[in-house]
Structure 1
Amino acid sequence: MPASPSTARAINDRLALRLLQQQGALTAGQLKQLTGLSRPTVADLVDRLTDAGLIAVVGEAGEQRRGPNAKLYGIVADRAQLAALDVRTEGVSVLVSDLVGTVLAEASVPIGGDTGTGPAVEQAVALVERVVKEAGADRLHTVGIGAPGLIDPASGELRDSSGLPEWHRSLVAALQERLPEARVNVENETNLAALAEQRDGVAADRDTFVLLWLGHGTGAAVVLDGALRRGASGGTGEIGFLPVPGTTGLPSAVDCDGGFHSLAGSTAIVELAKSYGLPVEDAAASGPLAAGVVGSAVALVAGTAGRPERAGPSDLTGPAERFLDTLADRLAIGVASVVAILDPGCVVLGGEVGQAGGEVLAARVEERIRRMSPLATVVRPSGLGGGAVLRGALLTARDAAQNELFAPPDR
């Protein structure tokens, strides 16, 4: 059955807006070429989107730079402002952007583990309000939040989780109360990191892949055939609870100690580095300690390339190599389990630790997977690191806002 005129217009409008979002400003002629639509159809949609306040003339193109064919059309970026939050166990990062994703202001605030729920929530909300003010935003259209823990697939709310600060759940409610006109969307941090890597990172060429999050804790995000999979209870990828050999016990329903988390969480990585005599204190200059430890070990190993011989007994390159080998052994246990079930073809080592490990750690894990599994799997280090959560939160907020704003009036 052919589409109705209104449906056809909606499809054409959405296609043109998506191209303007991806390509930047375009002329009517360029829109015609990219969409394959006729000249009159493009002229109609340009007039329709201009009248709706969604696009405007932003310049001219061509050698003559004059005439209707030279007009460059772009999305009206200030039609809406968006906020993205990365909520961690130890603090919050916030950024505010316009409708096309240009960052207008951003900031972070640490929140100590001994901070009460009320003060912690107030610190976080005050940070959001300050960044909104610095961005010059009149009001927020959509807020995207990335947080650890399970998201209830029915309600879209952050579920109560043991081991996570109570202020996480309270923050979402407080933001909805203080920003009543904004749409507030919450998503698991690892899922957002995977979406960011798929759109802007190392998984852009993959419709199917798994992101293994390596940060304060561990997690995984599963993207199959281009779609993020959340599971029946929103718990797809809770790999920290995976029972694995090499731990002192088994995880429980309320505690992932004894699971994969005990091998690959930040505390486990730091303790492993100490066991090899690597200086942990020097790695805490900036960023998470575990990422600093891994980054320092990678630098030591990479520094041996091309050297005819190593230094004396005090040289740490040997312990650094053994540390990275053992860490790769641990990560391969989790990765091999995922590969055996899902056969994703690609695994991204995400988070600050995955980015710090770079190709040195990723290559070690990939080599072990080749020995452990008959399923061809490439292992890549994150291109976005810990910043992937904030980027993913912004992308989901932008998509949600554009889906609403770009809807034609007669739909």
Structure 2
Amino acid sequence: MKIRWIRGNETIGFNHPHVFFLTGIRGAGKSSFLEFIGMKYLENNHAVFDLFASRDGENLAWLRSPWAEEKRILLLKGDSVDVDCSWPVKPVDSVTLHDFEKFDIIISSSPFYVNLDQEYIYAAKLTDLLYKRLSWRRLIYCIVREAANLYYSRLKISDNQTQAKAEMVYLIRESRHMGLALGLDSLRWHAIDIDIRSLSDYIIFKNMGQMGLSKEMKFLYSFIEPHTFRYLKPNHFVITTKKGGIGFGVFPYHEWHKKEGENILKALGIKVEYGEIPKQSIDKGTFKTVSDAEHAEIIRLYVEENLGFVKIAQRIGRSSRTVSLHVHGHNQAVERSGFCPACKRIGAPYFDKRVSKGYLFTTEQPPLREAII
């Protein structure tokens, strides 16, 4: 990467948790620039966490990059999704901070989730996990294509829009304390709040097309001709820094980047199958429905820990009547259909077995009277 500085003269180091914010029209080369920054961090033995990309699996192109031959790669997936490939795959619920130290490139790709809601919820869980990173031996460079996705993911688990925005700003503000470098991009300048843009160490302008620069950035026209921003090639960019530097740059465009219209899954030999989506808990105002995960936990506590309805209710924060209904409902479903739909959706081990306190029975055995609690 080469930069001709018009004002100031800075060196961009890749051993620091910088925040890069890119903006430009579609096809301007924003994603490839974020990947290029990722390669610079990899060169310095740091990790890349590619969190958000387009629905067609754009970020899976890392798997055919030169880095795939020498770096340890982990793919993340959601529940009810089976991924058949030659790389390690792990459910998001099983990811730990140790994985971010063990693997060099971690990819959360949209095709590995049943739908966008599931992807957003799991993205929020992953960022929550990074909040707990109190010490680190290397940086993690997190790529978020279309930065508004990060806001939407926070909104999925937040009470309101204000809280979601505050959590996103907090993540970016505290990122350096977690050893987290960030690469964010956005089609529109104002799609990302000023509180977030102001935290960027480097703002990168790609081809701006007919949009031009926003009002607060039009001062750049005093340094660079306006038409330049409309004709920037995919490997060209204009950069501003938090120290006031302004420059015109070029970076080597890598050929392994996903091509428009390409079936990246087929190209990489990856097969994905989708199952039924696990049901989440829904707040109905006066009560909350029981999620599939909660149902499976009720059954597990009943069988493995030999707990009664009252103690299970205390453990999970539900009423004993709710626990009773789910245990009996589980057994009725197994007797009627041979499996419990809730347990099957979540992949629970007792999905095809009737249960009693401290015991479980196969479907081949005759129905037994429920134990009296």
Q: Taking structure 2 as the reference length, what is the TM-score of the superposition?
A: 0.27
More relative contact order, 1 or 2 (CA 8 Å, 6+ apart): 2
Compute the TM-score of the two structures, normalised by the length of structure 1.
Answer: 0.25
Greater helix share, structure number: 1
